[in-house]
Amino acid sequence: MSSGPAVSSCCHGHGKVPRTFQAFSRSVTHNGGSTAWAQRFRLLAKRNRPVVSSLAERHGAFLNRCTFPPAGTPLVCGVSGGADSMALVVLAVASGCDVTAVHVDHGLRPGSETEADRVRSVAERLGAAFRAETVVVETGPNLEARARSARHAVLGPDAALGHTSDDRAETMIVNLLRGAGPDGLASIRPGFRHPILDLRRSDTERVCEIEGIEPFFDPSNADPLFVRNRIRHEALPLLADIAGRDLVPILDRQADVFASIADYLKLESAELDPTDTRVLREVPEVVARVALREWLRTGTEERHPPDAATIDRVMAVVRGDAIATELGGNRRVERTAGKLRIVTTPKA
């Protein structure tokens, strides 16, 4: 993996804050808006950042639905050049964060370097820093997942991503088709890493339109070879037609319910010794499975938890139906004197 040159173009404007922004800051509270955002806007006014204050004025309604960290916080934003990520960097700057827009080029299609140039141009116009990165992703099976993993490795665990409510609904269905439990059905979690998760795809397109930004359209997003694309373009529209209503808000609410269930189960399992088979047999199986899932993830670089089939095999070892099972990646779980242990096996 090679890294492109880091280009910093932070611009901190000087001068008086526009009167319209001061009026907007007052109106946020008077009109029943978020007090927290009113305080943030006043802080921005004190920091004398006309570019930021102007953006905040134009996009205040969207910002009230975002979860950016406090003003002044350094924030890396993954920006592909599509409408969602372009809107992310606009709103991140508008929120007062110290933004670095990072574009990751996978080199999977011709002309991808021009996308980085456009992201750089938008970042500079907004007064954000910019960094371009290049990763090598070989063609072959699971291309989408491998490209995503490479991108996340470059961006780091704390980078903000431009996922929207539509993405969350689609991910929930993807995970359902994979047989996920409550944690997977919780889909994408809200927070600083997903600050625009309450926005819709139409909202991000509107942000770009307001700012005169022409986002890129990635042709792979229409390729029916990818499961997510078929869910986006076929399954969700069909289900919405059957239900007679927009299903994205409903699926998002269900994801919140599953998130609460997953968090409760995680709390219940946290006090257990996941290696003690007697304890695992005594608690409800759903709690035992969560404890095992977290234990099996310990010490690995896997972003995703073990699948249900793996947990089924380990539960068979817990019950005594088997004495060991393979985990993959040269790892196996063995049972000795009522205790589980993970053993690394030699590579063939």
Q: Is the dihedral of CA 174, 177, 182, 183 positive or negative?
A: negative
Burial class (CB in 10 A: 0-12, 13-18, 19+), 179: exposed
Nearest Cα to 66, choosing from 78, 74, 56, 80? 56
Q: Judge whether 338 and 278 are in contact, CB under 8 Å.
A: yes
Tokens of 13: 């404007």
How far is the C-alpha of 97 from the C-alpha of 71, rounded, in Å? 5
Distance of CA 217 to the CA centre of its chain: 20
Q: Which residue has the tokens 């508008």?
A: 94
Q: Judge whether 90 and 207 are in contact, CB under 8 Å.
A: yes
Strands laid side by side in the 2-7 sheet = 2-7, 129-134, 98-105, 74-78
Beta strands in 74-126 (DSSP E): 74-78, 98-105
Other beta carbons within 10 Å of 64: 14
Contacts of residue 131, Cβ cutoff 8 Å, sequence gap at least 6: 4, 6, 7, 100, 101, 102, 103
Nearest Cα to 80, choosing from 100, 101, 103, 109? 103
Please compute, for residue 174, the number of CA atoms within 13 A of its CA located in the half-sphere on the CB side.
16
Q: Is the pTM of this model over 0.95?
A: no
Pairing of strands 74-78, 98-105: parallel
Per-residue pLDDT of the chain (348 residues; tens, 9 = 90+): 433 333 333 333 333 333 333 333 333 333 444 555 555 555 554 444 667 888 999 999 999 999 999 999 999 999 999 999 999 999 999 999 999 999 998 876 666 778 899 999 999 999 999 999 988 777 767 767 777 788 888 899 999 999 999 999 999 999 999 888 899 999 999 999 999 999 999 999 999 999 999 999 888 888 898 899 999 999 999 999 999 999 999 999 999 999 999 999 999 999 999 999 999 999 999 999 999 999 998 866 666 678 889 999 999 999 999 999 999 888 999 999 999 999 987 776
